[in-house]
């Protein structure tokens, strides 16, 4: 039996499902996640996505296991720079950050704010700890990798192989100017 999880933005106008378990659940300490999170969190009503430790909790799913069922016309993208290969997808109805899309990749990193605390997949590792804010003390409850661990890339690669090397697109309806 396939596990299907239903997720939605804060106001419920954007809904989607994810099939099966995520590839990974990580906290990213990179400067880009922290910077973009800080910009998005300044939008009225946006849930907090950057944690107290300056890290962003992301749950990675194969793009072919994410199915939008309502509200795709409300999705906009935000990029730190126009040429950035990564974009943050936001539901503009309530300013809920949906995910981080590496547009050349086969996965979508969904923001933890989409889950309730009791259904949120637990963090399995921290990445990019070399970018953590000075003075940040990270707990040792999970591995803390200075960059990306071999196991991180192995998970991504094995998922891509299982997908037949396809790179599905996540469509948005324009740009969010934040």
d(CA 153, CA 156): 5
Question: What integer pLDDT is reported at residue 1 of this predicted model?
Answer: 55
How confident is the model over 92-128, as pLDDT tens digits? 999 999 999 999 999 999 999 999 999 999 999 999 9
pLDDT band at 178; cut points 50, 70, 90:
confident
**Could you give the domains of the chain?**
4-162 (3.90.1590.10)
Structure tokens at 9: 């933005």
What average pLDDT does the chain have?
Answer: 95
Structure tokens at 101: 């899309």
CB 75 within 8 A of CB 94: no
Residues in contact with 102: Cβ distance below 8 Å, sequence separation at least 6, in sequence order: 85, 86, 109
Go through 135-172 and write b for each residue having 16 or more CB atoms within 10 A of its CB, e for each that does not.
Answer: eeeeeeeeebbeeebeebeebbeebbeebeeeeeebeb
Instruction: Report the residue count for the chain.
Output: 178
Three-point CA angle 11, 15, 16, nearest 5°: 150
How confident is the model over 26-67, as pLDDT tens digits? 999 999 999 999 999 999 999 999 998 999 999 999 999 999
């Amino acid at each position: 039996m396939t596990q299907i999880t239903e997720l939605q933005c804060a106001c419920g106008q954007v809904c989607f499902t994810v099939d099966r378990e995520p590839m990974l659940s990580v906290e990213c300490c990179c400067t880009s996640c922290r910077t973009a999170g800080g910009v998005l969190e300044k939008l009225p009503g946006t849930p907090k996505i950057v944690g107290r430790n300056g890290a962003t909790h992301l749950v990675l799913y194969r793009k072919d296991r994410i199915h939008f069922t309502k509200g795709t016309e409300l999705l906009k993208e935000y990029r730190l720079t126009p040429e950035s290969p990564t974009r943050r997808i936001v539901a503009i109805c309530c300013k809920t950050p949906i995910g981080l899309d590496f547009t050349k990749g086969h996965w979508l990193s969904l923001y933890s704010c989409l889950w309730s605390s009791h259904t949120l997949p637990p963090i399995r590792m921290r990445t990019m700890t070399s970018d953590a804010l000075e003075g940040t003390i990270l707990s040792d409850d999970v591995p803390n990798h200075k960059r990306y661990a071999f196991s991180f890339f192995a998970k991504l690669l094995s998922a891509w192989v299982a997908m037949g090397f396809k790179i599905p697109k996540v469509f948005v309806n324009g740009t969010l100017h934040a």
